[in-house]
Structure 1
Amino acid sequence: MSLRSRFALAFAAVGAAVAVTVGVLSYLAASDRVFAEVDRTLRSTTVALTRGMEKRKERDPADTVGQSPAGQNPVNRSPAPFPGLDLPAPGGEAAPQPVLQAVGRDGTPIRLSGPLEKLPVSDAARALAASGEAGQSDTTEIDAGGHSYRLLTTALGESRGALQVAVQVDQTRQVLAGMARQIAAVSLAVMLVAAAAGRLLAGRVTRRLARLAEVAEEVSTDGRVTHDATEPVGGRDEVGRLSASFSRMLGRMVAAREAQERLVHDAAHELRTPLTSLLANATVLHRVGELSPDSRDRLLDDIQHETRELGHLVDELVELALAGRRGETEEPVDLAEVARRAARRVYRRTGRLVHVDADDSVVRGSSQGLERAVGNLLENAAKFDADGGEPIEVRIRQGAVTVHDRGPGIAAADTSRVFDRFYRADSARGLPGSGLGLAIVHDVAEAHGGSVSAGPRPGGGAAVGFTVSRSRLLPASGPRSEAVAAD
């Protein structure tokens, strides 16, 4: 079942539940109100009948309900209604004549007036007639003469019997039945309207969800993401937010896939050169016995050099592929301490002195990634500043790390491309390296919300560095009043 159909059924169920609940409560309230009015009529009639009997008793003290002095039935002596009896109609409207009946203390029914010859006497009515207290009553509904009656039995007390008053309620039942049918019809109409409204609203909601589902299925089927798929479907509600997040996710997937394809293409191109050289050297090794000792030495040196370059390139590729995907826990990082560790490592590898001039910048980020970025900058500077006349300088200010060297500098045409993968300027063609070191610096800076920069250094050389987002700066861990040299 589709989500739209489920929404429609849910709306219909809620609408039906509300309509039925309101209808049932309305029916019960109306029924109680109507029968309360009928019962009031029965009580009024009983009171009027009792008053009439009291007046008769004043004129004839020997007259009692169920027994007379001569043993005669009072009905035989006085079949007409009692004097003073004023019979009201339910609701003040014309209604069938009520049935009046007395019940002797022995349970014998005595007809007083009305369209029926006799009302049925139940066990409860006999108990009231025999031993009920004055005013004690019982209300029930009976079927007699093909009609429904509401019957009120009231005890006279002191074993004098009871009075019964019944009024026909067929018309009342018909009115209530018609009301029940109307309520059922209204409930059905409300249910249908709720279902239609639910389907309409669900269509507006699920139309956007269906679009997202189609895009997800398309991506999961062939892995391709079209430009249209990255466009949000609109809206400010939860579905709109989901669509916007989904579109951003697809955009990142597209960017990641394009970056992956570029990396594979560039890596294949860069790997081809050392592999071709190694293959050529391996071919020459088949005739190693024909080579002079100097040629063999040069051949072996070339193989070792190409192997080292290949291993270095593979390491850089792995590092670049894993950059930003390690899932490292971010922590407070002291940039000055990071620079010291990187400087000591560069000194061990190259013998170059590094001068660290740092403030108290402490940032929230990846310690390993930041150290890798600073180390790459220092190694790049050591490679181009081969003379080593002056120490390499690391300057750290407010989350910005800049490495200064006294090498040949960076040409203006190369400034915007030095951080591209595998890019190597003309001046660096003969130097070792894979062209990935600064690309890794770029990825680390981007992962920390910063940027990279490269340009000439005043007085000659280059100034290359990166920044960390200022939102990642933390309170200072301690003041530093002088530069620190690492060796």
Structure 2
Amino acid sequence: MGTVFALSFACVTAATTLLGGFLSYNAAAQMVRVDQDDVFRGVVNDLHQQVAQRRLSPSDYFSVSPDRDSPRDDLSRRIRTDVQVLGRAGRVEERGFPALPVRAADRAAASHATAGHTIYYKARIEGDRYRVATVALGGGRGAVQVAQQYSDTEDLLRKLKDRTVELSAIVIVVAGLAGWWLARRIAGRLVRLPRVAEHVARTGRLDTEVPVTGQNEVGRLGRAFDGMLGRLAASEEIQRRLVQDAGHELRTPLTSLQANAALLDRIDQLPPQAKADLIADMKSETRELVNLVNELVDLAAGDRNAEQPTEITLGALAEDAAALTRRRTGREILIEADDTVVRARPDAVQRALTNLLENAAKFDHGGTEPIELAVKGTRVEVRDRGPGIAEADLPRVFDRFYRADSARSLPGSGLGLAIVHAVAVAHGGTAFAHNRAGGGAIIGFTLDPTSRVRRPRTAPAADSAATPR
């Protein structure tokens, strides 16, 4: 991946550099050539005006002594041109250096009647390129040829092109190295992430270290990947513990049922009391097994969060849960609730309320004072006057399958309060438990405060005297 990134970076830079160099060279070349062409045409225009204003002959442009300049010397000095003089019918009267070609158009210009008649063309002389102009002297007296060599201009442009190519090559090499360096820095950690994923897929090890350094997108991806592995590891650990604890809890009633089933073959030989005890024990263990399975299913359903949230009144759910617990336990339950409406999953919240009430009834077995259920805002708590909770057990009362030593002889699976905790967390709240002043325990949960639905207050009723009858 780093190599591809470096090559791509180098290719883009190369294309940009070459395009910029090409455009720059073309612009410079055009400016230089246009400038040289303008100078040449300026000289030719001066020659045109000169022959148009004066009656000149070919001899006026012959070379003279070094002490006196001729019009030919003026032409050569200004643009370092080659000057050749043509006589009548285009005969060469004084040859240039090098000799310029005499074409049919040049001979026609030499025989032209109008002074200043000019023709332009380009020619290659002894391997070099020239601009050539032939200006008629008029009256068929001849013409003057002036030529400017391209070589000086082209040498300059050739050097410019070579420098541009060299600079472009240097830029491309530097861009390639910079791209390779950037690829190593940016994509190096990104390349390691697939290796970590492949290692996890191959070994199943969720504790594999993930590179999470840096604050850019790659670092964020690494942290997200590391967090995902952490959540998967935690989920796997919870699943493993659930299976182990469930297996342990299921083994006890199943072992008892298996032992009792072995006695069924000779149930006719047992005394009446032993028969009654066997049947009662089997019913009790079966009921315990059914309750355990139901609570496991409820816990799994609560973890899936399949139920859709709706607007519910916590006080109404508290009344329903209290009525169900009264029928099951026969205990008196007092409810203190406001009219709070929340957006939550009703079945899950009802299950949590019922578990709290049945837990209080179980630990306050034989109590004479009523169990209290209080709902205030998004906080729910159940108060009892039972033996309370040992300080060592308080941190673990919401663990799955955890049962205090004092509760080993009581019915239950240790999942009731775990379901309460799962429901609270699923609703953005927490579960809590502490001892009650004067004896007993207070156990409850809270929901996310933002789940509370704010109802507009109704206007006060109009005065009855003002109401028409």
TM-score (norm 2): 0.82
Q: How far 1:308 moved relative to its partner? A: 2.1
Which residue in 2 is equivalent to 1:169?
Answer: 150
The alignment yields a C-alpha RMSD, in angstroms, of 3.9
Superposed CA deviations along residues 45-96 of structure 1, whole A, max 9, x for unmatched, are 2112102211333x6xxxxxxxxxxxxxx76x66638964632668x7xx4x
Separation of aligned partners in 2, 1:284 and 1:408? 38
Aligned-partner SS, 1:166: strand
Give 2:391's aligned amino acid: A
Separation of aligned partners in 2, 1:181 and 1:119? 33
Separation of aligned partners in 2, 1:117 and 1:32? 28
Consecutive unaligned residues of structure 1, counting only runs of 5 or more, are 60-73, 481-487
Which of 82, 91, 115 does residue 97 from structure 2 map onto?
A: 115
* 2:85–2:144 CA contact under 8 A, matched in 1: yes
* 2:62–2:85 CA contact under 8 A, matched in 1: no
Superposed CA deviations along residues 155-207 of structure 1, whole A, max 9, x for unmatched, are 999xx999875321123223222222221221121111111111111111222
Which of 350, 360, 374 does residue 381 from structure 1 map onto?
A: 360
Which residue in 1 is equivalent to 2:186?
Answer: 205
Which residue in 2 is equivalent to 1:476?
Answer: 454
Give 1:422's aligned amino acid: F
* 1:421–1:439 CA contact under 8 A, matched in 2: yes
Give 1:340's aligned amino acid: E
Separation of aligned partners in 2, 1:152 and 1:400? 104
Matched, 1:447 2:426: yes
Separation of aligned partners in 2, 1:417 and 1:31? 86
Which residue in 1 is equivalent to 2:4?
Answer: 6
TM-score (norm 1): 0.79
Which residue in 2 is equivalent to 1:87?
Answer: 75
Trace 1:53-452 onto structure 2 (pairs within 5 A).
53-57=51-55, 80=62, 84=71, 86-87=74-75, 95=80, 97-98=81-82, 114-119=96-101, 141-151=122-132, 165-226=146-207, 229=209, 233-387=212-366, 389-452=368-431
Consecutive unaligned residues of structure 2, counting only runs of 5 or more, are 64-68, 459-469
Aligned-partner SS, 1:416: helix
Aligned-partner SS, 2:22: helix
Tell me: CA distance 1:223–1:338, structure 2 relative to 1, closer, same or farther (3 Å). Answer: farther
Tell me: CA distance 1:110–1:315, structure 2 relative to 1, closer, same or farther (3 Å). Answer: farther
Q: How far 1:122 moved relative to its partner? A: 9.8
Aligned-partner SS, 1:52: helix
Aligned-partner SS, 1:20: helix
Separation of aligned partners in 2, 1:262 and 1:307? 24
Aligned-partner SS, 1:217: helix
Tell me: CA distance 1:109–1:202, structure 2 relative to 1, closer, same or farther (3 Å). Answer: farther
Which residue in 2 is equivalent to 1:16?
Answer: 14
Separation of aligned partners in 2, 1:467 and 1:54? 110
Separation of aligned partners in 2, 1:187 and 1:120? 44
- State, as a whole percentage, how many aligned pairs show the same letter: 44
Give 1:468's aligned amino acid: L
Q: How far 1:421 moved relative to its partner? A: 1.4
Q: How far 1:464 moved relative to its partner? A: 0.5
* 1:271–1:310 CA contact under 8 A, matched in 2: yes
Q: How far 1:99 moved relative to its partner? A: 5.1
* 1:419–1:442 CA contact under 8 A, matched in 2: yes
* 2:378–2:452 CA contact under 8 A, matched in 1: no
Aligned-partner SS, 1:387: coil
Tell me: CA distance 1:433–1:100, structure 2 relative to 1, closer, same or farther (3 Å). Answer: farther
Separation of aligned partners in 1, 2:271 and 2:310? 59
Aligned-partner SS, 1:87: helix
Q: Which moved more, 1:110-119 or 1:189-198?
A: 110-119
* 2:389–2:434 CA contact under 8 A, matched in 1: yes
Give 2:288's aligned amino acid: E
Q: How far 1:465 moved relative to its partner? A: 0.8
Q: Which moved more, 1:245-254 or 1:210-219?
A: 210-219
Separation of aligned partners in 1, 2:240 and 2:87? 105
Give 1:476's aligned amino acid: R
Tell me: CA distance 1:32–1:339, structure 2 relative to 1, closer, same or farther (3 Å). Answer: same
Tell me: CA distance 1:323–1:164, structure 2 relative to 1, closer, same or farther (3 Å). Answer: farther
Give 2:3's aligned amino acid: S
* 1:8–1:202 CA contact under 8 A, matched in 2: yes
Tell me: CA distance 1:240–1:88, structure 2 relative to 1, closer, same or farther (3 Å). Answer: farther
Tell me: CA distance 1:277–1:466, structure 2 relative to 1, closer, same or farther (3 Å). Answer: same
Give 1:477's aligned amino acid: R
